[in-house]
Amino acid sequence: MSATWRRVARATRGERYAEEYAEQFRAMAAEGADVHGEAALVEQLLPPPARVLDAGCGTGRLGARLVGRGYDVVGCDADEAMVAVARRDHPLVRWEVADLADLEATPLGEPFDAVVLAGNVVPLLDPGTLAAAARSCAGALRQGGLLLAGFGLDAEHLPEGCDPVPLADVDAALGTAGLAQERRWATWDGAPYAGGGYVVVAHRLPL
């Protein structure tokens, strides 16, 4: 489990953080909020059928939505408690406990058409593991595959206690891992990025 994520989650949500996280999004959806912006962008860029790794899947909101839209999905997260909730709430989807910095240690099957990191996965990586996570995620892709990641760049867009990761550092790590920068947006609904506190990046493994 990411020590950074565990510290932040317990500080902000308590010992029931996994349940609290799932309940928050269920409540938002019940009130009519659109909680599927990440899935909509995936579908726009890579229509189904396609094979997707929900990397840092949490309680399974994104992966379950993608399965419902016709994708072949594997979800993985280093947090056993989050994966347990995903397995309980979405039992038809494959969920694995896996470290994003060492995906090779967990058999995930054939390479993926896309790897998606939503929910501030990038800044919640443990310090010093960004480069390894970038290499590991790139290694899970097929040639021509797409990596999407959305994350906050300042305190306003991050949970309390989570330090920002400079966008330049993320770009450099993904580039060193062999991924080419393709596009970026300010939100998952495709608003243009012109600086600001949140970014969605698209990088691709060249053919």
Q: Which residues of the chain have pLDDT under 70?
A: 1, 35
- Domain 3-204, CATH among 3.30.230.10, 3.40.50.150, 2.60.120.370, 3.50.50.60: 3.40.50.150
* Cα angle value 181/104/152 (rounded, 5°): 40
Look at residue 134 in the predicted model and tell me its pLDDT: 98
196: left (phi over 0), alpha (psi -120 to 50) or beta: left
Look at residue 35 in the predicted model and tell me its pLDDT: 65
Q: Which residue has the tokens 């099957």?
A: 109
Element (H, E) at 111: none
Look at residue 167 in the predicted model and tell me its pLDDT: 98
Look at residue 29 in the predicted model and tell me its pLDDT: 76
Instruction: Name the DSSP letter for residue 53.
Output: E
Q: How many CA atoms lie within 13 A of 100 on its CB side?
A: 30
Domain ranges of the chain: 3-204
Look at residue 19 in the predicted model and tell me its pLDDT: 86
Look at residue 13 in the predicted model and tell me its pLDDT: 73
